[in-house]
Amino acid sequence: MWNSVWHLLLSICGWAVFAYMIFVLCFYFMMFIISAFQLRKQYQLNDEEPYEDLLAVSYTTPLSILVPAYNESVGIIGSVRSLLGIEYPEYEVIVVNDGSSDDTLEKLIEEFSLVKMNRVVRKQVETKEVKAVYRSKLYDYLYVVDKQNGGKSDALNAGINLSNYPYFCSIDGDSVLERDAFLKVMKPIIDSDGEVIASGGSIRIANGCKIENGAVVSIGLDTQPLVVMQIIEYLRAFLMGRIGLSRHNLLLIVSGAFGVFSKRWVIEAGGYSHTVGEDMELVVRLHRLIKQKKTNNQIVYIPDPVCWTEAPDEIKYLRRQRNRWHRGLFDSLWKHKEMLFNPRYGSIGMISMPYFVFIELIGPVMEMLGYLFIVISLVVGGIYVEFAYLLFLLMVVYGSLYSMAAVLLEEWSLRKYPRVSDIAKLFVFSLTESFWYRPLTVIWRCHGLLDVIRNKKGWGDMQRKGVSQ
């Protein structure tokens, strides 16, 4: 009897994972087709002239650039330098030192000749106490806020309170922007006359690139397989995921490392919330506000503007990052669970929320069940072995082949990696993803869900080596 029950459970598990994988494969194939057509459409246009025109016109929207920094001593100077030399008519840079325990503030004061200023800060959103506001004697548009530690969300809210301009951009303290990135990411906002209230660009891995004085001099690949796999993962997430979602205003994530927002809308939504997934939670809240106000405002993703950021090159730090990301995903979806399958929220409630719940959030659990089924089937033998081979083949297609497709889209459109050897290396590593890297990320993300059950909070320590020097 128990043997029959065991075989029945194993069969149900196998068919459930199989049906799930077929559904996900079909969904991602549709996303690939949408992304490919969208990229081809965009890159048939001559983008260079419109961006150059924005430098000369008087109606270009001024921008506040917010840089939250906590113990970013190693890379903060290079990041700020990259922002001081960007191509954009009118902007200010606001670095928020969120109670760093290292010499982040001291380095900023020395490097940019900062002096304290008497500045009344209007509290449009609540934050921890601001100790002092500094202004550079070398660059009158560079400000530094020194405040009590309150986390990244609190630091961004403090920057919003100090900012002077109607749009702000959040940039991580270890990131470097391409010089024309803001022209490109702001273009849909300017062209739409305010209908677009948030715009995000692409995030790429800076490890392996040559960076001098806050600018990317040459683009290359890191030698470590763990970093190369993250490059492929980012290509897949941005070029295949976000393009497809953005095409129909279904985007629920604008990366906290590089995103532009309307200050008025963010303040009305209540600012950043104190959660490990503050960037996604804000975007979901903005979508909710759009639906409640019954407006046609949009949140878009633009693939061309690129922000280069440091990626973890050790397993323990990468594990913490993926664990935190999955906890943040759960927090954002749980806070807005009433939107799921709620027609009141239109396509966000009926398509986007279900996608993030059933594919992004639950996906690792289903993949883990698939790995367990394959292992058990090989041990049990019999009729399950062939089914296990079929399931593994599906997982390889889902993992490796779609990652190869993302590399193909990169070569077809942006072409940030100029060397043929780099593209070949990305292709080869894509083939290996399902055999080692993807199982690791599945384990880490499932562990993130366990930490949600255990009510674990916080970011966890991350190591910075300073690629943005």
The answer to whether residue 440 sits within a structural domain is no
Q: Cβ distance 77 to 108 under 8 Å?
A: yes
The answer to whether residue 136 sits within a structural domain is yes
Q: Cβ distance 259 to 64 under 8 Å?
A: no
The answer to whether residue 438 sits within a structural domain is no
The model carries a pTM of 0.89
pLDDT tens-digit profile, the chain (469 residues): 566 777 778 888 888 888 998 898 888 888 888 888 877 776 554 444 455 665 555 457 899 999 999 988 888 888 888 888 888 888 999 999 999 999 999 999 999 999 999 877 788 999 999 999 999 999 999 999 999 999 999 999 999 999 999 999 988 877 788 888 888 888 889 888 889 999 998 888 989 888 877 678 888 899 999 999 999 999 888 877 788 888 889 999 988 788 899 999 999 999 999 888 888 999 999 999 999 999 999 999 988 878 888 899 999 999 999 999 999 999 999 999 999 999 999 999 999 999 999 999 999 999 999 999 888 888 877 667 888 888 888 888 777 888 888 888 887 776 778 788 888 899 899 989 988 999 999 999 999 999 999 887 766 665 665 554 4
The answer to whether residue 92 sits within a structural domain is yes
CA 337 to chain centre: 21
For residue 318, give both structure tokens. 């990468």
Task: Give the count of domains, the chain.
Answer: 1
Closest CA to 18 of 394, 403, 308, 343: 394
d(CA 24, CA 398): 8
Parallel/antiparallel/unpaired status of strands 130-136 and 142-147: antiparallel
Q: At what angle do helices 225-235 and 402-412 cross, to 10 degrees?
A: 70
Q: At residue 467, what are phi and psi to the nearest 5 degrees?
A: -75, -15
CATH label of the domain that carries residue 57: 3.90.550.10
Q: Where are the beta strands (DSSP E) in 244-345?
A: 258-262, 298-309
Residue type, 80: V
Residue identified by tokens 């690939």 is: 32
The answer to whether residue 174 sits within a structural domain is yes
The answer to whether residue 95 sits within a structural domain is yes
Residue type, 8: L
Domain of residue 221 covers 48-312
Q: Cβ distance 176 to 215 under 8 Å?
A: yes
Q: Cβ distance 259 to 169 under 8 Å?
A: yes
The answer to whether residue 431 sits within a structural domain is no
Cα dihedral: 393, 391, 423, 425 (round 10): -80
Q: Cβ distance 176 to 82 under 8 Å?
A: yes
Residue 390: how many other CB atoms lie within 10 Å: 13
The answer to whether residue 409 sits within a structural domain is no
